[in-house]
């Protein structure tokens, strides 16, 4: 960072030969923030509080999502990295403790709601990066730009959930 600052300063001085030279530069660093202390060794993701409180909770109560669908979604949200999860349905089924056919049905429903999407390649899925993302904001923005450029018919990632649940209130 200081090297880059020095280069920029040298270029500025070279392009403006008139005027006073820099006499003093002060750089202050703020202390690092403490890292989150999260359970387990898989790290953590940022999750949309709006989605948790206003969409997912209501979908569960209104029985719009089955327990298996919720389990698959939470598993995928917790297993994703930079919005993607590479895992077969058999592997998911074994980890969650349900039949593979139940995982397949759950994935189909979650895709309808744009919570996740399937890739053509077997065992590769995207968790909607607007709902949950493991990575920094720049990485999330890059994923969003890429996905939005695909202009998907499902309107992934911007249309989320059942129509009557998807409006932010």
Question: Is residue 128 pLDDT above 80, yes or no?
Answer: yes
CA pair distance 131, 113, nearest whole angstrom: 12
Place of tokens 């979604």: 73
For the beta sheet containing 124-127, the strands, ordered from the edge strand earlier in sequence to the opposite edge, are: 84-86, 124-127, 116-118
CATH number at residue 127: 1.10.10.10
Tell me which H or E stretch contains 115: none
pLDDT digits (tens, 9 = 90+) for 104-113: 999 999 999 8
| Cα distances (angstroms) measured from residue 10 to each of 4, 5, 115 | 10, 9, 49
* Residue 58 lies in domain: 46-149
Q: Which of 95, 87, 85, 82 is nearest to 46 (CA)?
A: 82
**Inside any domain, residue 140:** yes
- Average of per-residue pLDDT across 57-84: 91
**Inside any domain, residue 86:** yes
């Amino acid at each position: 960072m200081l090297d880059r600052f020095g280069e920029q300063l040298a270029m500025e001085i070279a392009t403006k030969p008139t005027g006073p030279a820099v006499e003093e530069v002060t750089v202050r660093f703020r202390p690092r923030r403490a890292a989150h202390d999260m359970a387990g060794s898989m790290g953590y993701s940022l999750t949309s509080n709006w989605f948790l409180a206003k969409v997912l909770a209501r979908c569960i109560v209104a029985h719009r999502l089955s327990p298996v669908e919720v389990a698959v979604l939470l598993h995928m949200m917790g297993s994703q990295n930079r919005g993607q999860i590479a895992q077969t349905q058999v592997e998911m089924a074994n980890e969650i403790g349900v039949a593979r056919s139940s995982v397949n049905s759950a994935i189909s429903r979650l895709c309808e709601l744009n919570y996740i999407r399937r890739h053509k390649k077997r065992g590769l899925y995207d968790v909607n990066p607007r709902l949950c993302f493991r990575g920094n904001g720049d990485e999330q923005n890059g994923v969003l730009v890429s996905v939005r450029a695909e202009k998907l018919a499902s309107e992934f990632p911007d249309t989320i959930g059942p129509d009557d649940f998807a409006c932010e209130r």
